[in-house]
Amino acid sequence: MDIGALLTSAAINTGLSVLLFSLYSILRKQPSNTIVYFGRRLASLNNRNSRNHFSFERFVPSPSWIVKAWETTENEILAIGGLDAVVFQRILVFSIRVFSIAAVTCLFLVLPVNYYGQEMKHKHIHAESLNVFTIANVKEGSRWLWAHCLALYIISCSACVLLYFEYKSITKMRLAHITTSPPNPSHFTILVRSIPYSVGESYSNSVKKFFTNYYASSYLSHQIVYRCGLVQKLMVDAEKICMRIKAAPKGQSSLKPCCLCGGSTSFKVLTDEPESVKDSFSYSNLNLATRDNERSAAFVIFKTRYAAVVATQMLQSPNPMSWVTELAPEPHDVLWSNLCIPFRQLWLRKIATLLASIVFMVLFLAPVTFVQGLTQLEKLSQTFPFLRGFLKQDLINHVLTGYLPSVILILFLYTVPPTMMLFSSVEGPVSHSGRKRSACLKILYFTIWNVFFVNHVSGGFLFAFNMLSSVGDIPVELAKAIPNQASFFVTYVLTSGWASLSCEVMQPFSLLCNFLKKHLLRNHEDSSDGLVSFPYHTEVPRVLLFGLIGFTYSVMAPLILPFLLIYFLLAYLVYRNQIVNVYITKYEGGGQLWPFVHNTTIFSLVLTQMISLGVFGIKKSPVASGFTIPLIICTLLFNEYCRQRFTPIFKKNVAQVLLEMDRRDEQSGRMEEIHQQLHSAYCQLPLTSHEFCESVHKLCQDNIRGREGTKSGKEPSEVSEPCAVCNFGKEGSIGE
């Protein structure tokens, strides 16, 4: 591909980006799109009402959203999106810093060496081949290869220094987040799975006997997990409907005509007093706790944070497969459906999902091979001779080589996130954040393999199997292929980077759904039910993949760096705007994504150094090759130091910090209040009240006593799919 094709791709993507950004600045001003672009601020009535009047300003593009995103501070991001949002912003800040250093170094030091690497007659810039600006243009044995080695040292050292300070800063922020945040029920609670079955005894009684026997001084209560079924889903949906009806104005009926059927639905609001709702519903009519529906899992609550951590650090029985303990996730983060999975199935599920992921990666080689065929018009014309005349046209040539391949690859890549999220769900994680982290790793491995490794050689299936059979030859193969694939990855950054940010800020799917709801279904009410949290599992792998491409090509093809730097600057503004205005925070992951970021960055650096070592060997430069080997060793030693110094804080809670928090709460007299809140923290039915949990708890106690021979005076009603409840096995009432 020549510079003309590159400029064609850049012009197309720049035009699309400017158009979509301008369209976004207009659409966000329209009152009907408030739910799409200001979902997190939906409760702010002033924000919506101020735009109900007609004004010419509403239809004029403006950069005001860019200014507001730039002025948002890190503390505001922390308060709005939590520590995970700050970590994601730090990824972008780190990328901007390190690739700014790389751009200055390589554009002024490496690029001239590449351009004048061989004695040749240069054409006009727009007609030059992109290979002229890569290391492939440097002749063998050139003494100027020291410039590439020096640039590699500068980039690697800068990246390691920035990584160290970022890791240190985020570690302090994680500890501060734990100590300064309100009391978190997950710090007092452990999840117990694979509870042994006892004949004639319920799981709830087994848990109570075990922990009162071995943890008598620290055990507070427990909450058994019940089977998730149809009744639970129906009750959650009914709760949401009731909340919508209560939000309607008093004395009015809600009439919503539908243009599809021509009818209307009318709800009459009787009263909004909670007591009337409680009186009209008898909890005693539900038999929610039956032994047949108990699962072998429970949330066990301790009196102190330290006691909960200690309970997870040791085996509870001689059989490691029973009484398995781990720290519980936050109540809003619990993935209740996976708690019912038997613990003994988890290792089989992990193996099955691993095999399924590998099969999916292999099948994905077909579209990658097709895309690579489009980038090599010579082979394409040989395979299809009737296309030779068509492919000789300059415009067709530029579009096919500079724009179409990356677009096709991106369309195929849209199938990856939902597939990997499905695989992660089948694995059986107990939290939503854990499922997202698992999907994030799968997507990251998938994109690095299929987008980076497989795309570098057009052999497709044959190349993939050859690489798997001879791993030691990977650096040499990549050293031969990378300079030739620079054009594809430059256009990939333009298409997948710039255009994807434009689509992210536009939110086309949400915009379409909102248009259909308001203009087709005639529902003009804005509801926050459809709002989603930030998609870390898709955006983090995307950013890390661009980081890998940037490190690899910074020395080999420096022309990619300006386009990559523009992407990171746009991403910094776009994602900051989305965190502030669009996405809601449903649960907090505690910044646990940063170790993934650190490890991937180290992998990118080491891979870049090994590829450079292979290129220096091909170019017959023993001096540059000799100086590269110590750099690889030092990078690996730096990674080991960070792994020993910082990583454990992200995997385990610090006993010193937890003990200080327990003492502070005891001295201030807040511990009793915290204990009262813990009893109803892990209610399996979301959106339910404390009174509901208390009522069901009393009913379940009566049912259990009835099975043991005690007359409770209540006949259990038959429910085929009982819901799970909370507050089992408490030592006494809350007032005691």
Q: What is the mean pLDDT of the chain?
A: 78
pLDDT band of 236, cuts 50, 70, 90? low
Q: Above 50 in pLDDT, residue 727?
A: no
DSSP conformation class of 189: E
Is 136 in a helix, a strand, or coil? Answer: helix
* Beta strand 219-226 pairing with 189-193: unpaired
Q: Above 90 in pLDDT, residue 718?
A: no
User: 575-598, pLDDT tens digit by residue?
Assistant: 999 998 888 888 888 889 999 999
Token representation of residue 732: 């006494």
Please tell me the distance from the alpha carbon of residue 355 to that of residue 352, in angstroms, as a whole number.
5
Question: Which residue, 652, 593, 330, 228, is CA-closest to 436?
Answer: 593
Count the Cβ atoms, other than its own, within 10 Å of residue 283: 15
User: If residue 111 lies in a helix (H) or strand (E), which one and from where to where?
Assistant: helix 111-115
Please tell me the distance from the alpha carbon of residue 77 to that of residue 667, in angstroms, as a whole number.
32
pLDDT (mean) for 472-500: 75
**Block residue for tokens 């529906």:** 293
Phi and psi torsions of 344, nearest 5°: -70, -15
Q: Above 90 in pLDDT, residue 42?
A: no
pLDDT of residue 378: 56
Token representation of residue 41: 């601020």
Which range, of 91-95, 361-365, 384-388, 476-480, averages the lowest pLDDT? 384-388
User: 129-176, pLDDT tens digit by residue?
Assistant: 677 888 888 888 888 889 999 999 999 999 999 999 999 999 999 999
Return the top range by mean pLDDT from 326-335, 383-392, 463-472, 600-609: 600-609
pLDDT of residue 661: 93
User: 167-219, pLDDT tens digit by residue?
Assistant: 999 999 999 988 888 888 999 999 999 999 888 888 989 999 999 999 999 99
Whether the CB-CB separation of 185 and 681 falls below 8 Å is answered with yes
pLDDT of residue 354: 93
Question: Which residue, 75, 71, 308, 304, is CA-closest to 173?
Answer: 75
User: Which residues are registered as beta bridge partners of 326?
Assistant: 191
Q: What percent of the chain has pLDDT over 90?
A: 35
Token representation of residue 93: 């800040």
User: 352-364, pLDDT tens digit by residue?
Assistant: 999 999 999 888 8
DSSP conformation class of 225: E
Q: Above 70 in pLDDT, residue 258?
A: no
Whether the CB-CB separation of 343 and 194 falls below 8 Å is answered with yes
pLDDT of residue 192: 94
